[in-house]
Structure 1
Amino acid sequence: MYQPEQHREDRLDVQHDLIETHPFGLLISHDREGLQANGLPFLLQRSIGPFGRLQAHIARANSQWRELDGAEVLVVFQGPLNYVTPAFYETKRETGKVVPTWNYAMVQARGTARVRADTEWLDTQISALTDRHEADRPEPWHVSDAPRTYIEAQLRGIVGIEIDIQRLEGKWKVSQNRPEGDRKGVAAGLAEAHPEMAALVRRYGRIGEGA
């Protein structure tokens, strides 16, 4: 990934936070049919290995998994992203020398995939994934709420994927390259409609909350 130094984010905890906040990753691999890419919800196990472990499952009918075992893969996690209009920039009023851009935060994870087809692993993975995303609901749904025979039939239709992360790259392009007046303008301009990005612009641009 192209990473100008000012946009690099190498802190592991920050990279992990983005993966957990935006867990729907794009799994990219290459096989005899060429490039394959599918979006999957991932679970991150932070404490395994130097960079963590990713787990997911994929439909058995999806051909991507058939040549995945032992293959090097890339998983892309996209955080907040927003179009930035030049109208936000103080520089527009000063010189007019501005162009539009996009702000975004992204983590790319690389590792070797393992295919997991055993029922116990799949059962544990879908339960953990469900519990993670149901946790904030007033009455969380659990896999055990469905008839066991139905769940077993569903498990036969999926295959597990496990990836020990061997390399992580983070890129936070959030207006760090702009003058202070422009950064303040972007934070203010995005604050109401896109507060997550506005917060990143303030944090990485060292702008006070009142800006």
Structure 2
Amino acid sequence: MYNPKAFAVEDLPELHQMIGDCRLAILVTQGEHGLQASHLPLLLDTQQGPNGSLYGHMARANPQWRDLEAGAEALVIFAGADAYVSPGLYASKAEHGKVVPTWNFVAVHAYGSAEVFSDAHRLRNLVGALTDHHETGREQPWKIDDAPPEYIDSMLKAIVGFALPIQRLEGKRKLSQNRSPADAAGVRNGLAASHDPQDRALAHLMPEQLSKE
């Protein structure tokens, strides 16, 4: 992705945190049938490989797993908070008017080639780990053992799993770092007062980012 140095994130723990904050990733591959993309929940193991490894599964009926099996390089996109930035939020608008709209956002791109697997035991462990991760905090968390074993066995036959060691990571936090402190404060305050929850989520990231400048 286009990533000017002012916006680039290179700290590995921070990149891992940004991945963890994203609930649904986009897996993109180029294969025999052209570009394909799937929206998938993934698990990150930060201890596997120099950049960590991603684990997930998709429907066996989804032809994209064939790209992974054939060794195609995959791009996994983790999109975080984003917000439209109106020129009206800049203090400099009143000074000279030389301002235009833009978009602030947080994103991570991960690249690598995946191993595909269909082993029932390994798939069950993966589905169980994904379930436990997303059920955390619920009053009565659902467990994979809550369903009849034969039903789970039949469902596992309908999916394929994959493990993707991350070979390259790119992170971007575009949070008005290229604007003056007054302009950045105007953006932060304007988004914080918005009725849109994504605007407020983006504003919440800005004080932390601005403090690093």
TM-score by length of 2: 0.94
Which amino acid is the alignment partner of residue 60 of structure 2? R
SS in 1 for 2:9: coil
Q: 1:203 Cα shift? A: 1.5
Partner of 2:148: 147
Residue deviations 1:135-184, cap 9 Å, x none?
11111111111111111111111000110001101011111001111110
Partner of 1:14: 14
Query: Aligned residues: percent identity?
Result: 45
Q: 1:71 Cα shift? A: 2.0
**1: distance between equivalents of 2:66 and 2:208?**
43
Partner of 2:51: 51
- Where has structure 1 moved over 6 Å in runs of 4 or more? none
Partner of 1:125: 126
* Alpha carbons 2:77, 2:110 under 8 Å: kept: yes
* Alpha carbons 2:29, 2:67 under 8 Å: kept: no
Give the superposed CA RMSD: 1.2
SS in 2 for 1:5: coil
**2: distance between equivalents of 1:12 and 1:172?**
14
Partner of 1:110: 111
SS in 2 for 1:6: coil
SS in 2 for 1:68: helix
Which amino acid is the alignment partner of residue 29 of structure 2? S
Structure 2: give runs of 5+ residues left out of the alignment.
none
Structure 1: give runs of 5+ residues left out of the alignment.
none
Alignment of 1:33-72 (within 5 A): 33-69=33-69, 70-72=71-73
Partner of 2:31: 31
SS in 2 for 1:76: strand
Partner of 1:174: 175
Partner of 2:203: 198
SS in 1 for 2:203: helix
Q: 1:206 Cα shift? A: 2.2
* Alpha carbons 2:58, 2:161 under 8 Å: kept: yes
Q: 1:199 Cα shift? A: 2.1
Which amino acid is the alignment partner of residue 13 of structure 2? D
Residue deviations 1:33-78, cap 9 Å, x none?
1111111110000111100000000000000011312221110100
Residue deviations 1:90-111, cap 9 Å, x none?
0111111111111001000001
TM-score by length of 1: 0.95
**1: distance between equivalents of 2:137 and 2:106?**
24
**1: distance between equivalents of 2:193 and 2:121?**
46
**2: distance between equivalents of 1:155 and 1:32?**
26
* Alpha carbons 1:110, 1:168 under 8 Å: kept: yes
Partner of 1:101: 102
Q: 1:195 Cα shift? A: 2.8
